[in-house]
Structures are given as structure tokens and as C-alpha cells.
Structure 1
Amino acid sequence: MSAGRVAERVGVPVLAVVTLVLLGLVFFYPVGIVLVEAVRVDGIYSLATFTDVLADEFYFGVFTRVFSDPAVLVRSFPDYRLGLFGFTAYQAILSTIASVLLGLPGAYVLARFEFPGRRTIRSLTALPFVMPTILVAIGFVATFGKNGVLNVALRSVGLPVLNLRGTLAIIVLAHAFYDAPLIARITAAAWEGVDAEMTETARSLGASPLRAFRDVIVPQLLPAILTGALLTFIFSFMSFAIVLALGGLSLATVEVWVYHRISQLDYGTASTLAVLEMFLSLALTYAYLRYEARQRAASAARPPERMDLFGSITKSRLFAWGYALVAVVVFVVPIVSLVVASVTGPEGFTLRNYRFLIERQATAYEFQVKPLTAVTNSLVFGGGTLLVAVPMGVFLAVVSTRNFRGRKLIDTLAMAPFAVSGVVVGLGLLRGFVFGTEAFGYRFTIAGPIAIVAAHAVGAYPFVTRNVAPALAGIDDSIVESARSLGASRARVMLDIELPLVVPAILAGMAFAFAISVGEFDSTVILATGGTGYTMPVAIERFIGRRLGPATAMGVVLLVVTGVSFVIIDRLGEGSGFGG
């Protein structure tokens, strides 16, 4: 047998083993480390930490007394002490409601109206997948902070200033900015699939437009709305950078408090909290995937025709233009404020913030953040992430399109990083590999930058898989069968026919992976602590509490890199899992 045929035969199994081993090392082992540390106290396995956390009102508020005194819920109503988990869920509920209220009108406009730039705006609803959360935070500080654009405008007309930073309102609004596009994207797709004939039949039987909407359209949209709401709740519950930058410890969520405990070297409590949150997020993610699968299974015979946005004045058009005005204020102003704040000062237009980034590189002490180092690290880590995440993601996409026993299990394991926060992965990599782990009589350690690349790859490869898998599934089976009938092996068909056909999807996945790496904050801020492996998002967070100008300048640099990645996704991602 020729060497080429041997390589073909063993290549895929070897790639499978390498991928699974790599996935185990960079994800499942670190998560396992966190699980173990949550149940080990002074080297002895114990549930003492779990018991202490579950019984502590700081973490669970009034609910810690429910089992011993159920009437406490009645006696203390409505002045509940929610505790850390309760407050995290509360702000996630408020954020979800705000996102739904802001996103549903956008879904209606995208689904029912035709206008120039509609495709571009629809593509922009994918921005939350690539926009760094720290960028959202700095945009809202630049808008609503003490010296933000809003207060500058208020001072100029003699009105009192309004500082929303450090309030629950700004956190909820920032989450709505981030998540409402997801609601609009998911619901618009369902709205476009509403069966127009059912609505017309209801109207012909005498139903008013409102009743036809309530009884015919809403039931068809409900699965999509629930899917988007559940996904938004998960994102808001696991939110880290936005809460850390805008609320701090005074409005800490579980993620922020885990980070605080890590900074205090209290790894046992941090691991316990992380495990409790992880189990909850896994359950919620499972529910989300069930809803998503149910939504995709639905189809319609004839979608309704879109109306022209421009024309005679109607209630529908007035509503659409009114929403457009709200959307500009909520979605555009924070980004514009970020750019404006980076080039303005008390004296007006200035480039001193960008000069600071350059000069700080030469004058900063070793323990201070050097801006150009942060930019360089982000780009290098992004390149390293591509080397790891793209092969993993493409291989798992190939696996997900094959029929074999155990495929669903592999699919579930491969998508597990969606349900585990970067804080958990970062903590596991820190405790497991950066601090070192004993195996085979040897202590294995890795440098912080390598751990950062591993954490970024964990967060990025599922997006490669979700981009490539639909493209592979869409290849005509007859092409593959013709090649096989001519004697080509399965591996040769994959290399010579299938993968070349999905190159645009692979490139879109690469753009996603790079953008996610460049913007990743949760795991990076843990792994870069005390070292020089900080990135642009970490630099922004360190600047934001001291000097707004340099933070906004660094934010603009990050925005440009993210924007370029998004343009690539928009051009190449049509029809893929996220980019279309």
C-alpha cells in the first residue's frame, strides 16, 4: 500500500485523536480542575465549601431560610434580600425584558419592511457575536459617565448632569444594547417565515388586524421569542466585563465576585461559585438548544410580502421611523461617543489620547500597561488562536455532518464551551497549567501567553464549527457519491472536494475566531494578572478607572480591528451558522 493511501486511511483517525486530546487538555481538564477544587478543602474531599456557600445569605439571601421556614417568603415580601445569585438572576431578568422590548420592534421592521441598506442592518445584528463586551462598557462610560458625551451636552445648556455609571440602569441598558440585536435577528427570521395564508384566512373570517396578530402571528413567533429571551438571559446572567466596568463590586454578579475571590486568592470559594453557576448555565443552555432545534424545525408555505418603508404616512411606517430614532440613540450614540471621546478634551479636538498610547509605551514602568504591547499581544494571540481553533472547528464540523453512533454525544461535548464562562476556563487553566500540575512524576507548567491562546481557542472553535457545518451539510450528495464511485476514498473526497467547496465558510469562521480572540476579556484578565500578557480589552479595563481618554482611544483601536473582522464575516459568511 502506498504511503499516500496510508496517510489517507490514518489521517482522519489521527486528526480525531489529536482534536479530542486537545479539547480535553484546553477545556475539559481545566473545568475538571475547578470542579475538583470546589469539593476539596485542605487536600481532603469535602462538601464543606458548598454547604457554607449554600447556607450563606450573602450568596442566596432569603432563600437560604426557605427550607427551615417557608413562611419567610411571605413575611419578608416585598423586601427580599436576594443575595449574590438572586441579584444576578434579577439583573438578567431585567436585561432580558429590556432586550426583548428593544429587539422585537427591530424584528418587525426587518421582517416587514423593505428599504435600502436592509441587508447591511440585518448583518449588523450579528455584531454581538464579535463585539467585545468591554467595548460596550467603554462606549456606555463615554456616553453616560460623569464626563461623558451626555453630561457635556447637559452642561452646555445649563442642565444638571446625570451620572449613570455604578447604577443598575446602565448595566441593564448596556445588556440591552448587546443582546437586543440577537432578539431581532432570531425573531425576524421567524417572522419572515410566518404563513401569510393563515393571517389572510383569519382576516377573511372577520378577525381585526390586532386579533389576527394575537391569535395567528404571535403563536408562530413565540418559540423564536422564547429562544432569544433564554439566550439573552444566559448572556446577561454570565455577563462579566459589562458589570465589572459599569457596576464594580457594588453591583457584583456571580462572575464578578468569582473574579474578586480569585484576586483575593480565595480559590476554593471562587471554584464553588463557578461550579454552581456553571451547572445553572448548562441547564439553561440545554433548554435553549431544545428551543432552537424546535424553531428550526418549523417552516411556512408562503411568507408575507415586505412593505416599502418609504411612502404615504401610515401607522406602520410611523412606528418603523419612530423605532429607527430610538435605535439610533441606543445603538449608535454609544459607539459615536466612544470615537468622539477619544479625539476630544477640555480644549476641543485633540489627538493627545492617541499620543499617550504611543508615549506610554516608552515611559511606562514594567508593572504598568503598555498600549502597544497590548495591541501586539492581541494580534499575536489572535494568530495563535487561529492555529488551534480552526483545525479543531473544521474537524468537528466534518464530524457533525457524518452519521455514526455517538455523534450526538460528540456534538454535545464539542459545543460545551458555549455553556461555560471564560472565567471558569481561565480559572481552570490558571490552577491547572500555569501553576503547574503533577503527572507521571513530572510537574507540567505552561506560560501565561500559551494558556491565554488555549482559553481563546476554547471560546472560538465552536464558531468555526457553526460556520462550516451548515456549508458542509449543503453540499450535493451526488457529487460525493460520484467521486466515491470513481474510487476516491472518503478522506480524499473530503480533502479534494468538500473542504474546497466550503472555503468561504472556513474563512468566515477564521474571522469569527480572530475577532473573538482579540475581544476576549473574561479568561484573559485572569490569566494576564501580574504579567505582561495583557491584551487590548484588559488594557481598556485597567485604563477605564483612571483615565477615560486613553481607554476610549484603545477602544477605538479595538473597534477598528473588530470592524475589519466583521466586514470579512459579512462578505464571506452568507448561509453559514452565524454570518449570514
Structure 2
Amino acid sequence: MSSARSERTVRDRIERRILAIFGLSTVLLLLGMFYYPVGTVFIEAIVVDGSATISVFLDILRDPFYFGETARLFAGESPGWDLFRPGRELGLVEFTAWQAVLSTLASLALGLPLAYLLARFEFRGRRTLRSLTILPFVLPSIMVAVGFVATFGSNGTVNDVLGLFGLGSINMTGTLKIIILAHAFYNAPLVARIVAASWETVDASAVETARSLGAGPLRAFWDVVAPQLYPAVLMSAALTFVFTFGTFPIVLALGDLSLATVEVWVNRLIGRFNYAEAAGLAIIELAISLSVLYAYLRYEAKQSNQARGVRPLPRKSLRPASRSPRELLPRIGLGVYSLIALVVFVAPIVSMIYASLTGPTGFTLDHFQFLIERQTGGADFQIQPWPAIRNSLVFGFATLLVALPMGVTVAVLTTRKYRGRKLVDVVTMAPLAVSGIIVGLGLLRGLVFGVEIAGYRIFVGGAIAIIAAHAVAGYPFVVRTVAPGLEKLDPQLLESARSLGASRARALLDVELPLVWPGVVAGAAFAFAISIGEFSATIILAEGANQYTMPIAIERFIGRRLGPATAMGVVLLFVTSLSFVVIERIGGEHSGL
């Protein structure tokens, strides 16, 4: 009897402290998998030969290769009018910023009409279309790159269509245009979701008041609606700039060294074992990205006192009520936009599947046969397909085992009211602001090369480092899908469970998590998809460990033969889709826990 009571007492104590244990474990994991590696990158850039110095940063800032004519400013010289000379050659950092600006403008041009369609019109399938705008975020970027080559390359589907009409062929591969289009594929849906959500909060009564005072539809839009959309447009533009400024796999697969961006060059420096310069360049990139986000946040803080309406604008039918130009022109514009959207958003995926199943003589399975035969080796390629598929799956499910508990724990910690909660939120969400290149370089230089503790040098294998990098990239998305559900729960549910004697951990397991289970499953799917498609950190960590994944295999194939690259892309698409179904089915079966 005494033994049973003692065992129950120990169990109760563990239950009472289980959240604290998970919280502490999450902090330790973050320190080991993120903050320590990122810290080593900073140290690598400011400590040279055992002495603290900023010479690495100064050398980069003064190097015309990186900053063009602007480098003369950092060197204390005056570039004069050369700085504004049209057509002057841009430095690497300048070009990276320039392509990010162009990509942002393209994303806005494709995303704003979609936001207008979703926010202002009611039609069958609108909710489905809105849901599909999340699809680009779960598609591996290297797979999309293969799709764009299959669409806009010399033997792409666009040229097949042009040939039917007797028109000349095009080849956008290796040009800035295809990179900008691929960036828009990813970021235009982000623009659409953010701006559409803001558009739906515009106060209808304010527009009606403007109309009653004599303002026409366009004047009412520019004076009432547009000012309320500016913050959302700027937010989406800032995020798009940051995402495209840190671009890596898209440029690596679709461009060449003449179109290299900062992250592509950082990867090249790592390959040359020039770690100090790579670290310094990566930190400069991070500083620029954070500066853009900080500038936007300052703007948002100034706009925070703007009132939001509670009665949204009524949506209109896609069918025009009359044949007047005011009714027809917007719908004609949306029809033209739909054709463009089909080419940009749908054609790359369809073209990839089509190219994997066709050859010079028509339908064929030769490309998939090549992947099977490649298992026996060969001189042309260094990556075998099956190990790459196996590694991707192993890393994906291992990432789930790490990222899911971390994400749920952080979601709980950031949705409870206590002093310092905002600090916890910032500290735990920091991985969203740091590129995979920096994390990968930090893990390589820190854990993979070894850490000396108490006279012993501890090494972490490449596979474990890859899982750590994937978990760091994936767990914030678990937080963002679980935390909103926890915040919306009625506090009385938790209080009732606690009043009946349930510990905090038991109340979480028995009451809260079952109610937000769809968010947990969605977070698991996101984490898995991000792991499957992660490229930036993986390519750094996989080289020495020979732990290649499907995205790396696709990148190697695409540089030699498009057929095998499209076949591997289809395999990646199938594996990702199947894994989503499995995760959702498992989540559904356990939704009553």
C-alpha cells in the first residue's frame, strides 16, 4: 500500500513538472541546435587567428566584387556619378538586392489581383482556391525549379505550344527572368493571403459614407480602402524581399555564376574552405534582411492606431450584373490574369510530370528506368536515387520526432500569461529570421567538426546535424499552427480540469491538445514537408557525410539531364503527397486522444 502511494506521489510530481521539463529540454535543444551554431558563425567572422577583429567585414564592404562602386564609399572614396551611372556593373550584394526588388515587384503584380479576387468576389471554389494558396509553401523549391526548366527551357512545354502556332522558340533557363518568375511562384500566394485578409477587414460603412458624399468607386477606393491596405501590402513586400534576398536553391538550379546571389556565393566559399569570409558575408546578409524587417515593424507601429471595421465589404458575383464597362472591365482583367496565373502557377508542375513521361519518340518510362538502373552506379552521377529517397524519409520522420514536441511546448509557453512571454516568443521564433545557410555553416563548424568540453572533443554525425537543421527550420511552423488554437480555447475549460484535480500536464493532454489536434496535425505536415524539401543547410552538411536527399539529387541531375531530374521531381512530389495523407490519416485516427 505504501509502495503504491509512493509510486503515485512520484508520478504526480513528474506530471506537475512535466511542462517545465519539456520547456527546459526545448531551451537546451535550441541552444545546441541553433544558438550555439549561429554563435560560432558570428565568432568565425570576428575572431581571426585568436584575435577579435572586424577586418573580415571591412574587406567585404570595400571589395568591388561584393558592392560594386558602392565599395568606394566604404573605403572612404567618392565614387561620384559612377554610383548612379545607368548600366553599371553591380556587385554581388547589390545584384542580390536588385533581383530581390524585381522578384518583389513581380510577386506583388501576381499576388494583388489574386487578393482582389479572393476578397471581393464570391464564387464556387473560392475557399478551395484560398486554401491552395498555401501549396507553394510546402512544395520543395528545387522541385519547382525543375518544373520551370520543363516549362520555359529550350525543350519546354511553352516552346511546344509556340511551335504549334509556328512561332519562334524561347529559352529562359539561366536568365534572371526565370528566377524572378520562380520567386513569384512562391511569394505571390503569400502576398494574396496577407492582402486579402486585410481587405476583408475594411469597414463597409466607411466606403458607403464616401460614396454618399459624392465620391465615385475609384475615388472611394483610393481614399478609403487603399490606405487600409498599405500596411498589408508593405508587410508582404518586406517578407518577399527578405525571402528572395536570401534565395539559394532557385538560383543554384536555374541560374549560373553570373546570376549568383549572396547565399550561392557563401556556399561556394564554404566549398573552398574559406569559412571566415563565408561567415562575414552571411552575417552581412542577415543584417540587411533584419534591417528591412525592422523598418517595416517601425512603420507598422506607427499605423497601429488605425481603426478597423467590423462590417466587411460585401462580395460580388463573378457574373456581371450588367454589360456596363464598370461591371465588365474588372472581370475581363481577372480573366486575363487567370491565363497568366495558369502559366506561372500550374504549368511548371504539369510540365514536370509531362516531361518525366515523354521523350523524343513520345510516351516513355525511360527516365524512371534510368533512376532504377542508376542504383548500380555509374560515372556520370554521384548520387543514387534510392538512398536519397530513404534519407529524405528518415530525416523527415526524425524531424517530426524532434520538431513536434518542441513546437507544441513553445506554443504552450507563448500562449500563457506571464512576465517575459514576449521575450520567450522572440527567442524561440528567431530561426524564422536566420537563413539555412547560416544554420548549416554553424552546425558544420561547431557540432560536426567537434566541440571541446572538459578536455574531450565531442563530434556530432552529419545525419544528426541534418536532422537538427531540419528541426530548427520546421518547429516554428508547428508553433504557428498550434498557438492560435490554444489562444482561442475557453480558459474555463482548463480551470475546470484543474479544479477536478488534473495536473497542468494532464489538462494539456486530456483537454487542450484534443481540441487543437487539427492544428497539431497541420503543424506535423508542415514540419515534414519542410524537412523533405530543405536544401540550404542540407547541401552544406551532406557533402562530408554522404547523406544526400532528394532535393540534392534533383539539383545534381538537373545540371546534366532534364529527364532524370523531372522523374526524381515526380518521385519527390509523390512522396511528399503520400506523407501528407499518412500524417493526416494518423492524426484523424488519434483525434480523440
Deviation at 1:168, TM superposition (A): 1.1
Contact 1:254 1:273 in 2 (8 A): yes
SS of equivalent residue, structure 2 residue 457: strand
**CA separation in 2, counterparts of 1:75 and 1:116?**
53
Indicate conservation of the 8 Å contact 2:70/2:83, yes or no.
no
Task: Tell me: CA distance 1:190–1:567, structure 2 relative to 1, closer, same or farther (3 Å).
Answer: farther
Query: How far apart in 2 are the matches of 1:175 and 1:296?
Result: 33
Match of 2:469 among 437, 446, 455: 455
Partners of 1:491 and 1:399 in 2: CA distance: 12
- Write the distance in 1 (CA, Å) between the matches of 2:21 and 2:554: 41
1:237-282 per-residue CA deviation (whole Å, 9 max, x = no partner) reads 0010011111121101100000111111111111111111122223
The question of whether the paired residues in 1 share the 8 Å contact of 2:388 and 2:550 is answered with yes
C-alpha separation in 2, matches of 1:408 and 1:298: 24
Query: Is 1:553 paired with 2:561?
Result: no
Q: Distance in 1 between matches of 2:399 and 2:175?
A: 36
Question: Conserved in 1, the CA contact under 8 Å of 2:61 and 2:67?
Answer: yes
Q: In 1, Cα distance between the equivalents of 2:247 and 2:307?
A: 31
User: How many residues were matched structurally?
Assistant: 573
| In structure 1, distance between residues paired with 2:232 and 2:41 | 34
C-alpha distance in 2 between matches for 1:61 and 1:566: 46
2:520 matched residue in structure 1: 506
Deviates more, 1:413-422 or 1:360-369: 360-369
Amino acid at match of 2:66: Y
Q: Residue 306 of structure 1 is aligned with which of 312, 315, 320?
A: 315
Secondary structure, in 3 states, of the residue corresponding to 1:529?
A: helix
Q: Is the 8 A contact 1:224 1:295 kept in 2?
A: no
| Contact 1:99–1:176 (8 Å) recurs in 2 | yes
Q: Structure 1 residues 298, 243: closer, same or farther in 2, change over 3 A? A: farther
C-alpha contact (below 8 Å) 1:389/1:513 kept by paired residues: yes
1:367 shift after superposition: 7.4
Match of 2:311, SS state, is: coil
The answer to whether the 8 A contact 2:381-2:557 is kept is no
In 2: Cα distance, 1:474 partner to 1:75 partner:
53
Which residue of the partner structure matches residue 175 of structure 1? 183
1:529 matches 2:543: yes
Matched, 1:235 2:243: yes
Q: Take 2:516 and 2:81, find their aligned partners in 1: how far apart are those partners?
A: 56
* 1:542 partner SS: helix
Distance 2:543 2:83 in 1: 45
- The aligned counterpart of 1:185 is 193
Question: What is the aligned partner in structure 2 of residue 389 from structure 1?
Answer: 403
More displaced, 237-246 or 66-75? 66-75
Does 2:47 match 1:33?
no
Cα pair 1:92 1:236 within 8 Å, conserved? yes
- Are positions 1:133 and 2:141 aligned together? yes
- Shift, 1:315, TM fit: 2.1
State the distance in 1 between where 2:269 and 2:82 align: 33
- In the alignment, the residues of structure 2 paired with residue 298 and residue 167 of structure 1 have an alpha-carbon distance, to the nearest angstrom, of 45
Matched, 1:149 2:157: yes
* 1:410 alignment partner, one of 421, 424, 444: 424
Of 318, 325, 344, which residue of structure 1 is paired with 2:332?
318
Give the 3 Å change call, closer, same or farther, for CA 328–113 of structure 1 in structure 2. same
Counterpart CA distance in 1 for 2:200 and 2:168 is 45
Output the CA distance in 1 between the equivalents of 2:393 and 2:165. Answer: 43
The aligned amino acid for 2:499 is: S
Deviates more, 1:169-178 or 1:355-364: 355-364
- Contact 1:31-1:428 at 8 Å conserved across structures: yes
| Residue-by-residue CA offset, 1:407-448 (whole Å, 9 max, x unaligned) | 111110111111111111111111111121211111111111
CA shift for structure 1 position 75:
6.5
Structure 2 equivalent of residue 245 of structure 1:
253
Residues 436/366 of structure 1: CA separation in 2 closer, same or farther (3 Å cut)? farther
- Seen in structure 2, the aligned counterparts of structure 1 residues 287 and 15 have a Cα distance that, compared at 3 Å, is farther
Query: Is 1:166 aligned with 2:180?
Result: no
Q: Which residue of 1 aligns with 2:16?
A: 9
CA contact (8 A) 2:462 2:544 kept: no
Matched residues in 2 for 1:497 and 1:297: separation? 37
In 1, the alpha carbon distance for the partners of 2:255 and 2:381 equals: 25
What TM-score does the superposition give when structure 2 sets the normalisation length? Answer: 0.92
Rounded to whole Å, the distance in 2 between the matches of 1:34 and 1:78 is: 36
Counterpart CA distance in 1 for 2:566 and 2:555 is 10
Q: 1:75 to 1:17 in 2, by over 3 A?
A: closer
Residue 329 of structure 1 deviates from its aligned partner by 1.5
Structure 1 residues 485, 292: CA separation in 2 closer, same or farther (over 3 Å shift)?
farther
- Which residue number in structure 2 is paired with residue 422 of structure 1? 436
Between the aligned partners of 2:371 and 2:115, the Cα distance in structure 1 is: 40
Within 5 A, what are the aligned runs for 1:328-477?
328-364=342-378, 368-477=382-491
Contact in 1 for aligned 2:521/2:584 (Cα 8 Å): no
Q: Is residue 511–residue 568 contact of structure 1 (8 Å, CA) maintained in 2?
A: no
Query: How far, CA to CA, are the matches of 1:190 and 1:298 in structure 2?
Result: 12
Q: Tell me if 1:264 matches 2:278.
A: no
**Unaligned regions of 5+ residues in structure 2, if any?**
1-5, 588-593
1:22 aligns with 2:22: no
CA distance in 1, matches of 2:298, 2:409: 24
Contact 1:508/1:572 (<8 A) preserved: no
**Per-residue deviation, residues 525-573 of structure 1 (Å, max 9, x unmatched):** 1111144311110000000000100101111121223345667899999
* Secondary structure, aligned partner of 1:528: helix
Q: Give 1:172 shift.
A: 1.0
Calculate the TM-score normalised by the size of structure 1.
Answer: 0.94
Equivalent in the alignment of 1:577: none
Cα deviation, residue 488, structure 1: 2.9
Q: Which one-letter code corresponds to 1:522 in the other structure?
A: S
Unaligned runs of 5+ in 1: 574-580
